[in-house]
C-alpha cells in the first residue's frame, strides 16, 4: 500500500488565508493526478461553500465523530481524484462531543487512522479550525506535516507563538526537529507595507522555518470568495495564482525531502 502523506493547515487566528491555501493545495494535488482526501474541519464552512458552491450538505465530519454515519455516507466526490469530507453546521458542537469522551483528541486521531488506513489516498489535507481545541488536537496527533499561514498582524503573530508552543508540548520535540515538520507561510503580504515588514523581521529574528514563497495581498480574493471560485482555476494567470503554484511545488519538495 502506498505511503499516504498527511498535511494540516492551521493557525488559531482566523482570517489568515488558511482555508484558501488548503483548498488550493487539495485542488492542485488532485489536478496533477494524485488521489486526495480533503477533510473540512473548520465550522465556518468556507471549504464546503467553495468546493460545493454553497450546496446544502446534511452530513459531514460531525457525523463521523458522533458515529452516526459511515465514511461512504458522508464523503463527497468532487472529481475522480478529490474526495471531500465536508463541514456542516453541526460541526460547531463536535468539540463538546469530543470533550465528553475520555481522551477525545486520541479518539479523533484513531478515527482518522481507521477511516483512511484502508483508503488509497496519496495525500490527505486537513483544514483545521481557527482554535486550539479537541478537533485541532486530534488532527495534530494524526497529521505528519503542518503549514501555518501568518498574516501581517500582531494577533496572527501571537496565534503563531501559541500554536508552536502547543505543538512542542504535544510532540515533546526540539526546535530543530520541529523544522522538519512545521513550516510558516506569509499571507496577505506586501513588502512595501510596514505591517508586512514588521512580521517579516519578527519571523527572521525567531528563525522560524519558512516557505520562500509568500502570498500577496489581492483585492480579487474578495470577489473569488463571494463566487466560491478557486483562484488557480478561475484566474490561472493572475500573479497570486502563480504564487500559489510556486508554493505548492515548494510544499511537495519539502515533504519529499523529509520522506
Identify the pLDDT of residue 186.
93
Beta bridge partners of 215: none
Identify the pLDDT of residue 222.
52
Identify the pLDDT of residue 176.
47
Identify the pLDDT of residue 27.
93
Domain residue ranges of the chain, discontinuous segments joined by +: 5-184
CB 181 within 8 A of CB 147: no
Identify the pLDDT of residue 158.
81
Identify the pLDDT of residue 230.
79
Q: Which residues of the chain have pLDDT under 70?
A: 1-2, 172-180, 218-229, 259
Identify the pLDDT of residue 252.
92
Task: Tell me the DSSP string of 186-218.
Answer: E-SB-TTSHHHHHHHHHHHHHT--B-S---B--
Q: Which cell goes with 233? A: 482555476
Furthest C-alpha separation in the chain: 51
CA separation for the pair 18, 93 (Å, rounded): 21
* CATH class of the domain whose range is 5-184: alpha beta
Amino acid at each position: 500500500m502506498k505511503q499516504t502523506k498527511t498535511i494540516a493547515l492551521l493557525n488559531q487566528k482566523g482570517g489568515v488565508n488558511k482555508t484558501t491555501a488548503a483548498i488550493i493545495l487539495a485542488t492542485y494535488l488532485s489536478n496533477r493526478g494524485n488521489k486526495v482526501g480533503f477533510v473540512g474541519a473548520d465550522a465556518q464552512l468556507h471549504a464546503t461553500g467553495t468546493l460545493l458552491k454553497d450546496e446544502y450538505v446534511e452530513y459531514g465530519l460531525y457525523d463521523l465523530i458522533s458515529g452516526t454515519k459511515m465514511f461512504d455516507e458522508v464523503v463527497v466526490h468532487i472529481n475522480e481524484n478529490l474526495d471531500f469530507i465536508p463541514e456542516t453546521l453541526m460541526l460547531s458542537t463536535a468539540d463538546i462531543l469530543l470533550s465528553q469522551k475520555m481522551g477525545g483528541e486520541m479518539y479523533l486521531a484513531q478515527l482518522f487512522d481507521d477511516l483512511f488506513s484502508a483508503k488509497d489516498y496519496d495525500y490527505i489535507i486537513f483544514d483545521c479550525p481557527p482554535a486550539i481545541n479537541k478537533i485541532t488536537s486530534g488532527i495534530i496527533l494524526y497529521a505528519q506535516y503542518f503549514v501555518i499561514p501568518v498574516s501581517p498582524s500582531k494577533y496572527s503573530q501571537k496565534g503563531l507563538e501559541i500554536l508552536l508552543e502547543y505543538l512542542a508540548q504535544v510532540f515533546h520535540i526540539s526546535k530543530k526537529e520541529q523544522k522538519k515538520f512545521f513550516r510558516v507561510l506569509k499571507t496577505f503580504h506586501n513588502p512595501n507595507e510596514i505591517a508586512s515588514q514588521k512580521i517579516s523581521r519578527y519571523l527572521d529574528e525567531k528563525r522560524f522555518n519558512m516557505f520562500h514563497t509568500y502570498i500577496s495581498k489581492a483585492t480579487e480574493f474578495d470577489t473569488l470568495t463571494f463566487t466560491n471560485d478557486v483562484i488557480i482555476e478561475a484566474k490561472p494567470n493572475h500573479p497570486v495564482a502563480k504564487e500559489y503554484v510556486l508554493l505548492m511545488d515548494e510544499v511537495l519538495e519539502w515533504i519529499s525531502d523529509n520522506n
